[in-house]
A = this chain, B = another copy of it.
Amino acid sequence: MTTPAAPQLDAVLAEIDRGLEASLERLKALLRIKSISTDPAYAEECRRAAEWLAQDLAAEGFQASVRPTPGHPVVVAHDTGAPGAHVLFYGHYDVQPVDPIDLWNTDPFEPQLVTLSDGSRQLVCRGASDDKGQLMTFIEACRAWRAVTGRLPVGVSILLEGEEESGGKNLPPFIAANAEELKADIALVCDTDMWDRQTPSITTMLRGLVGEEVTITCADKDLHSGMFGNAARNPNQVLADIVASLRDADGRVTIDGFYDDVAELPDTVKAQWKGLGFDEKAFLAGAGLSIPAGEKDRSVLEQLWSRPTCEINGMWGGYTGEGFKTVIPAKASAKISFRLVSGMQPDRIRKAFRDHVRARLPADCSVEFKEHGGSPALTVPADGPLLNKALAALSGEWPKPAVITGSGGSIPVGGDFKRLLGLDTLFIGFAHNDDRIHSPNEKYDLTSFHKGIRSWARVLAAFAG
């Protein structure tokens, strides 16, 4: 494919190759900032990450600023000098907590380059893949364009948030309040996986998310299990009974109306996904498992991309330290998340879940719920000129042609862009599903980083055409 920017693209790609070590050093500097958004103890580190990014973008030539929100700040940068297409790029600088800390082989916030037995080089650090490594691929591509041509080939706005990992509710109001400033022709999000190590992908189907925390209280204080056992209600038992009731023997979620708005997958999509040749056994083996869980009559890919989930992300009550304590605790809690597919309404699922819990609560116990975010699923139209240009650009960089895929994850901002700015989003990412995001020893393939930068350079060139 030839575009007006094409003659310069080769020089830009060469500049990316030449400057890779410097690009990597900048990423490492960002990774060393402990921007864990969910834990208030790290608020100052989140601010430092935002300031680092704004400074880096300004040094590169963007008009960049750190913008306050009621939570962690947002970084906004613009360079809209180029005529024609205008893209809004989104990434997040916040990262997941690092526990269980003892399972990390090295300091979670000191980036380490590790060479695997297959010869690939991996950058190991919290946030390497999710999302600092990914967002820097775009920033580095812009830097290379400027270094070679003195300008960007298209108009670019950048929006980097700090609450993606903490179900923060501050981004949608920020987008709404700054809608005029953030308008563009299309949004680009770099927070997704490649299909495999040879095949880039654009994700057009993302699940939504409802996060809930439930705390069950029985007695008004901790009790001695010898003095009160049997006769006093044990909230650990009550919680376990309720959690156990959430799925039936066939793995279906039993919450009333849970699947009411879930459409069966169209036969055409089913056929396309079948054509991807997804290896269920290999996928599960990558996690040390061999038998699929969940709904027993659904394929793994269908369950990951187009079926809603109900997962217990955390559960705790009573004595959990060393040794033993014969206590009946007063309280027990769980953090439970639901991934939603197209058509499901977050508020309706949240209410149905709460009704399910209340209906199973013994009469003299009480329950408290805490909301941890909610967003609907997102489906992007699977054609359109910019999507097709991006597919072609990605296909030019990688060994195999780019494919269109679904994703089990949730990236609420895509829905926000549609609703608040009227923008469709292209989800283009270079991570891999063995990157251990949210887990100890998170990593990002240096090939993802290098060819990711080159990919964005190509996409910007394609959009200029």
Contacts and interface: CB of A to CB of B under 8 A. Distances in A.
A403 to B, nearest CB: 17
A270 to B, nearest CB: 17
Contacts of A333: 320
A447 B156 CA distance: 79
Contact of A328 (B213, B236, B313, B409): B313
Interface stretch (A175-183, A194-202, A300-308, A349-357): A300-308
B312 A319 contact: no
A287 B223 contact: yes
Nearest to A243: B240
A300 to B, nearest CB: 5
Contacts of A295: 230
A294 interface: yes
A226 interface: yes
Interface in A41-81: none
Q: Which of A230, A284, A319, A439 neighbours the largest number of chain B CB atoms within 10 Å of its CB?
A: A230
Given A232-B284, A240-B312, A224 B438 contact: yes
Interface residues of A, number: 103
Contact of A319 (B97, B224, B228, B440): B97
A55 to B, nearest CB: 27
Q: Which of A99, A227, A239, A433 neighbours the largest number of chain B CB atoms within 10 Å of its CB?
A: A227
Interface stretch (A12-20, A136-144, A214-222, A455-463): A214-222
A364 interface: yes
A442 to B, nearest CB: 10
Contact of A236 (B207, B315, B321): B315
A322 B225 contact: no
A437 interface: yes
Nearest to A333: B320
B322 A222 contact: no
Interface in A403-435: 407-410, 433
A146 interface: no
State how many copies of this chain the complex holds: 2
Contacts of A8: none
Contacts of A96: 325
Contacts of A232: 284, 287, 289, 293
Contacts of A364: 289-291
Contact of A313 (B300, B303, B319, B410): B319
B323 A225 contact: no
Contacts of A222: 100, 103, 438-440
Interface of A: 37-40, 96-97, 99-100, 103, 165-167, 193, 207, 209, 211, 213, 218-234, 236-237, 239-241, 243-247, 251, 280, 283-284, 287-295, 298, 300, 303-304, 307, 309, 311-329, 332-335, 337, 339, 362-364, 372-373, 407-410, 433, 436-440
Given A38-B324, A100-B222, A234-B311, 12 more contacts: A167-B323, A219-B287, A221-B436, A230-B309, A231-B283, A231-B293, A240-B243, A291-B362, A312-B317, A313-B318, A313-B328, A324-B372
